[in-house]
Amino acid sequence: MVGMKWEVLHRSSLGRFLGLTFLYAVVLTAGVLFAYGVRFDFDIPTHDRSAVKYVAVYVVALQLACLFIFRQFEGLLSYFSIPDLRRIFFAMSTSALALLVLWLQVKGFGAPPRGVILVDYVSSILGLSVLRLCFRMVRERYLSPQSRVTRRRRRVGIIGAGDVGAALVRELVSKRGLGLQPVAFFDDDPSKWRSRVHEIPVVGPPESILDNKLNLQLEKVIIAMPSASARRIGEIVGILQKSHLKFESVPSIDQLATGKVRVSQLRDIEIEDLLGRPAVELEADHIRSILTDKVVMVTGAGGSIGSELCRQIAAFNPQRLLLVEQSEVQIFVIEQELIERGHSGLILPLVADILDEVRMRGILQRFRPHVIFHAAAHKHVPMMESQPAEAIKNNSIGTARMCDLALEFEVERFVQVSTDKAINPTNVMGASKRLAEIYLQALSASSPILTRFMAVRFGNVLGSSGSVIPVFKKQIAAGGPVRVTHPDVTRYFMTIPEAVGLVLQSASMGEGGEIFILDMGQPVKIVDLAKQLIELSGLRPDEDIEIQFIGLRPGEKLFEELSHSGENISKTTHPKIYRLNAQPENLKRVESILNKLAEDMPSLEPTQIKLRLQQAVPEYKPYLT
């Protein structure tokens, strides 16, 4: 059976090779004859006519050999792109150069005239390119499955006449099965107006969509501006909502950069597009110096922050990336994603609970990580408010034990992923994270050389499992109401990739004992966020979807803060990262508090636990029932 398959494959390859040889030979022979005709004004002298035949034979043979060397017999004839054109150019340039060398060696005797070589060089490139293009056009227009689709295509306008918009038009034209017919471009750049991109007119700015005089009869609009600012995207969305046209967007610039998605894989506009922030410039060399060829551990690797840490760390080629996660379901998801990205050789998933000291000790003893990013945490505020012992066990005691192990096994850097809710905390989750910071700083002050301990605080991240956005989306899908705690409540928001990139940058800057805080931009009113989500769903706030105010939940603040009274903020070398300077606590005192909490918590009521926590974190203002 294997022999029969190989024979069929061999025959197929041989047939394609012979077919390509014949077609290329015809085009190249025609090119030689055309070159002679041009050289002699299509009146070739009698004494040169006999030479044309044998010259054409060895010239065409040389050109075919060059095409073979530059792998033009391997590709399918109907697939033609810039790399194929480049190889044709180099193949014909090589053959023309060889003919010129021949002419110089024989002083023109038996070699084609220089004018013939030059014209043949140009005509052969044009002829082969036209041949390939013709086959491609036939395939795309008549032979592809999309070309046989007969349903009516919807008329679409494209906002953005740049490279992404042009690529989108090419895909929509070639893939008729997508059912979309581009009819107009809209662009902010006045220099592009009244011009054409792939025969599609650029009619004006996006605002002209509201101009009924254009009579474009659009049925849909695609936003092809993946690098546009969030403010401009918001303005365009407002225009499209007024026009009552359906609209979608091309993938984000990050998704397009990976090469795993195409511009024609359209998506809905997300709230992240409207709240997005300018791209953060990272000092990649500094990050690379602490990650490349190092053993790196990420705890909580299956969570929103932990999984993004794994993605970005893997790109810096560590020696090994240890994925530590309690949930086997979550760790499986990120493991499979990293395998698909080509990182199977460096990742190692480890199902483990950070509270299991024996298990964690065994992992550190065996793999000896150089850097630990500690992202494992309980972070849901209302849930932790009702069961404070769990928050303290995981967020405070668990982090302290991980710090101890890092010091014991001489880990170079230990980075705690913290939260802005640790600042003047009013909830157990924030206070438990603050207590972990206190221990980390105290331990760092007592052992400043062995391990560099640091923490990084930031606010809410868009798209995380604890974000309010998925909750709002479910409420909108159910027809409302959308429940907001308070009309004035505000929060800082960052995208997950931005937050994690700055965590890595902070890790590269830390000398030990620092708490870094990230520039979180301007706070956003949650009620405004809810209204934007409702409008993105094609509905109207308060008319189609009711917004209800249900009151602040236990432990919630109206406004998040940047620092508490005992901390001074100073700049770092990175404009998006600040350093918080505070006097570290006495290590023995903090250890005593943690040990006493761990010993007494099983017998304490939630209110008693909160009061004990307040003794450890004086700025904590507990919510007592």
> Which sequence positions are flagged as catalytic?
421
Whether the CB-CB separation of 216 and 184 falls below 8 Å is answered with yes
Whether the CB-CB separation of 535 and 241 falls below 8 Å is answered with yes
CB count within 10 Å of CB 452 equals: 21
Q: Which two tokens stand for residue 570?
A: 């100073």
Please, what's the b/e burial string for 295-315 (b: 16 or more CB within 10 A of its CB; e: otherwise)? bbbbbbbbbbbbbbbbbbbbe
Q: Which two tokens stand for residue 221?
A: 């609009």
CA angle, 456 then 460 then 461, to 5°: 90
CA 620 to CA 437: how far, in whole Å?
14
Angle between helices 114-138 and 2-39 (to 10 degrees): 130
- φ, ψ for residue 565, nearest 5 deg: -60, -25
Whether the CB-CB separation of 483 and 424 falls below 8 Å is answered with no
Whether the CB-CB separation of 222 and 247 falls below 8 Å is answered with yes
Task: Write the DSSP string, 250-309.
Answer: PPPHHHHHHTSS-TTS-B---HHHHH--PPPPP-HHHHHHHHTTSEEEEETTTSHHHHHH
Helix (H, G, I), strand (E, B) or coil at 230: helix
| Preceding omega of 369 cis (within 30 degrees of 0) | no
Cβ neighbours of residue 50 under 8 Å, at least 6 residues apart?
A: none
- φ, ψ for residue 413, nearest 5 deg: -140, 140
CA 547 to CA 278: how far, in whole Å?
30
Q: Is 288 exposed, middle or buried (0-12, 13-18, 19+ CB in 10 A)?
A: middle
CA 418 to CA 413: how far, in whole Å?
16
Cβ neighbours of residue 439 under 8 Å, at least 6 residues apart?
A: 396, 399, 400, 403, 590, 591, 594
Angle between helices 606-616 and 587-600 (to 10 degrees): 180
Its sign, for the CA torsion 113, 114, 119, 121, is positive
Q: Which two tokens stand for residue 420?
A: 């802005």
Q: Which two tokens stand for residue 56?
A: 């054409």
CA 556 to CA 488: how far, in whole Å?
12
CA 368 to CA 206: how far, in whole Å?
56
Helix (H, G, I), strand (E, B) or coil at 493: strand
Q: Which two tokens stand for residue 191?
A: 């220099």
CB count within 10 Å of CB 184 equals: 21
CA 133 to CA 612: how far, in whole Å?
77
Whether the CB-CB separation of 255 and 190 falls below 8 Å is answered with no
